[in-house]
Amino acid sequence: MDNKNLLNALCNIDAPSGNEEALRQFILKEISDYCDAKVDKMGNIIAFKKGKNTPKYKVMLDAHLDEVGVIITNITESGMLLFDTVGGIETETLLSKRVRFGDTLGVIGSKPIHQSSADERKALPKSDSLYIDIGATDKDDALNYVSLGDIGTFASHWAELGESLVRSKALDDRVGCATLISLLKADAEYDFYATFTVGEEIGLRGAKTATYTVEPDFAIALEATSAADLHGSEGSNTVCEVGNGIAISFMDRATLYDRRLFDFALNTAKQNNISAQIKHAVTGGNNSGAIHLTKSGVKVITLSLPARYIHSPASVGSLNDFKAMGQLAKVLLNGLAAGEFN
């Protein structure tokens, strides 16, 4: 399976926070012949890859398993599902979207426009006014298909756009998972660790415990980040641009990155002719926020795939940027392990 088809397969698996099992089993099957892998109490996969050489510094690469979703909090007498979000999803993204709970499909609805007041029509509906319609006739009928606490995902599918773009749910962070799988399957210059972690979307949960176990000297977080390279956005408002290479962060809402390591990553990309860009806005957050604070601290860098419409059923990213993520992750891993940065 080539990298594009691997990414396609990963994106099509439903694995919202707390329900990562299907994706975890898929990944374990993919990597089990190439490394030593175990699953910890949190549900993280911690993999050790034996390389040709013993590293001077221990390096860990991380990608999170989970995607955003919705959780059923109540069921009305008429059979509509009330819900909350699992992870950060904007209200406007939820409206009229299809979701699924296993084999049960539904659509997110709101108060009909012709029943809305003039003021209501000028504003987005509040998220707690939305509901999921699964076609149930009443509450008892709905309970034949779903239960309180069930977690669902967007019901969408992978599609290729133009020559190099793809559209899918869960590009965040199946691009990171696919990159780690590819690195684990290939011959390695140095020993390294790869962690596939749970619960990033609900507070960087799994990365904290996985890092505590591995105790790396350096870590590389592989992630997707929001690209706003759209009409009406200019300069720093674009954050980063789809197709212009992998994005490297100097700061986000969870981490202020080591400046020397940031420069090292940029220079490594330049020296190896790998397409890269600076993420030019302080937005978002990822597992680096938990990783760098673990035990006595870890020097960490984040490589992010720019994605339009992130945390939606139709995130758009570039296969060229995806390729650049793998290239830069590999050379950074080797450089850090060899002691080129200290």
From the number of C-beta atoms within 10 Å of its C-beta (0-12, 13-18, 19+), residue 5 rates as: exposed
- Tokens encoding 60: 């860990």
> What letter represents residue 241's amino acid?
E
Distance CA 179, CA 275 (A): 16
Name the helix (H) or strand (E) containing 194.
Answer: strand 192-197
Distance CA 217, CA 116 (A): 57
Distance CA 81, CA 73 (A): 8
Name the helix (H) or strand (E) containing 302.
Answer: strand 299-307
**Is 77 among the catalytic positions?**
no
Question: Parallel, antiparallel, or unpaired: how do β-strands 69-75 and 165-168 relate?
Answer: unpaired
List the catalytic residue out of 20, 30, 200, 201.
200
Q: In the sheet that 276-279 helps form, which strands lie side by side, from edge to edge?
A: 36-39, 45-49, 192-197, 59-64, 218-226, 299-307, 246-249, 276-279
Give DSSP secondary structure letters for 50-112: --SB--SS-EEEEEE--B-EEEEEEE-TTSPEEEEEES---HHHHTT-EEEETTEEEEEE---
Q: Longest C-alpha distance within the chain, in Å?
A: 69
Nearest C-alpha neighbor of 150 from the set 84, 89, 198: 84
Residues 6+ apart with CB under 8 A from 302: 220, 221, 222, 223, 248, 249, 252, 255, 257, 286, 288
What amino acid positions are annotated as catalytic residues?
200
